[in-house]
Amino acid sequence: MSDQSLTFLKLGGSLITDKDQPETALIDQIDELLSQIACWHLANPNQRLLLGHGSGSFGHHAAAKFGTRQGVHTPEEALGYQQVWFSARKLNQIIIERAHVLRLPLVAFPPSAAITADDHEIQTWNLQPIAQSLEMGLIPLVYGDVVSDLAIGGTILSTEDLFVHLARAIRPNRILLAGRIKGVYADFPANQHLLTHLSAQSEPFAFVRGSASQDVTGGMLTKVQSMQALCRELPGLSVQIFSAVSPGALRQALDGAAIGTTIN
C-alpha cells in the first residue's frame, strides 16, 4: 500500500541547467524552484518529500564522451567515470547550498557512495538512512550519478532509475517529474496536442521520442515507459510529467493541480 503522505519530486536536468552548454547551472531558476518547495514544505508539515535532480549539462557531456553508461573497462574509461562523478557532484553541491540559504532541510545521499549494480540493475542499496531522514522530517536528496557495476565495471543511473527502486521499497503516493516540456505530446516535435492522461496499461506511443538535447540516460520515451511499468507494478501510484518553468507551476503540482500529463 502506498504512503499517502509521501511524494517523490524530480527537478529535471533540462530545468535546472542549460543542457547545451557544459556545466551551466540556471541559478535563478534553481532558486525559484527551491523557494516553491520550501513554501510548500512549510505549509504542509505532515507531508513528506524525497527530492531528486537530473545532471543536465553537468553529467551528460562527459558521460557521452567516455560512454560511461555502457560500462567502465579501461583506464581511460575509469578516468571518464571519475569526471562524470565530479561533474554530477558539482551540481548537487549547488542545489544543497542554494537550499541551505532557504532553510530547506536537504540531506544528500550520493548513489556513487552507496549503490552496487549488476548490468545496470541495482543490487544493493541500504535505504535505512533515507527512510530515517524522512521520519525525521528531513528531505532526502538523490541524483543521477555513477555507480559501481559488477558486470560492466561501472555505469550511470538516472534519477528515474533511482526512483523506481525507491518506489518499490518505500511506496510513495505520487511521483512528480518536473522539466521544461509541458508533458507528453501526441505530435512531438510539433507539440500542439498535449496528452493530459496516459494509461499505465497502454502501449508506448511511437511518437514519444527521446530528448531534444544530449541525454545519455534516455529521453521522454524511456521516462514514459519506465513510469508506466512502475504504475502497473504499484497500483495506486500516480506519476505526473509537467513543466515547472512558469512561476508557481511547481507549487501548483505539489498542491495537487492536474497540470501536464498524468500516468496511472
Q: Buried (b) or exposed (e) across 98-116, using 16+ Cβ within 10 A?
A: bbeeeebebbbbbbbebbe
Q: What is the pLDDT of residues 186-199, one digit of tens each?
A: 877 788 899 999 99
Lowest mean pLDDT among 18-22, 32-36, 111-115, 171-175: 18-22
For the segment 151-167, the average pLDDT, to the nearest whole number, is: 97
Q: What is the pLDDT of residues 39-68, one digit of tens each?
A: 999 999 999 999 999 999 998 778 888 899
252 or 189, greater pLDDT: 252
For the segment 69-73, the average pLDDT, to the nearest whole number, is: 95
Residue type for position 147: V
End-to-end CA distance of the chain: give it in Å, rounded: 15
241 near 179, Cβ under 8 Å?
Answer: yes
**pLDDT at residue 125 greater than cutoff 90:** yes
173 near 2, Cβ under 8 Å?
Answer: yes
pLDDT for position 205: 59
88 near 143, Cβ under 8 Å?
Answer: yes
Cell numbers given for 193: 496536442
Closest Cα partner for 48 from 185, 214, 166, 181? 166
Cell numbers given for 199: 494509461
Q: What is the pLDDT of residues 99-111, one digit of tens each?
A: 999 999 999 999 9
pLDDT for position 19: 82
Q: How far apart are CA 158 and CA 146, in angstroms?
A: 9
Quickly list H helices, the chain. Answer: 13-16, 27-43, 60-66, 75-101, 128-135, 159-170, 220-233, 249-254
Confidence grade of residue 218 (pLDDT, cut at 50, 70, 90):
low
Q: How far apart are CA 87 and CA 113, in angstroms?
A: 15
Q: What percent of the chain has pLDDT over 90?
A: 80
What CATH architecture does domain 3-263 belong to? 3-Layer(aba) Sandwich (3.40)
222 or 226, greater pLDDT: 226
CA angle, 120 as apex, 111 and 63 as ends, to 5°?
70
pLDDT for position 60: 78
Bridge partners, residue 139, by sequence: 106
pLDDT for position 63: 87
For the segment 149-161, the average pLDDT, to the nearest whole number, is: 97
Residue 203: other Cβ atoms inside 10 A: 8
5 near 46, Cβ under 8 Å?
Answer: yes
Q: How far apart are CA 118 and CA 96, in angstroms?
A: 29
Q: How far apart are CA 104 and CA 98, in angstroms?
A: 9
Q: What is the mean pLDDT of the chain?
A: 92
Q: How far apart are CA 122 and CA 7, in angstroms?
A: 21
Quote the pTM value: 0.93
pLDDT for position 139: 98
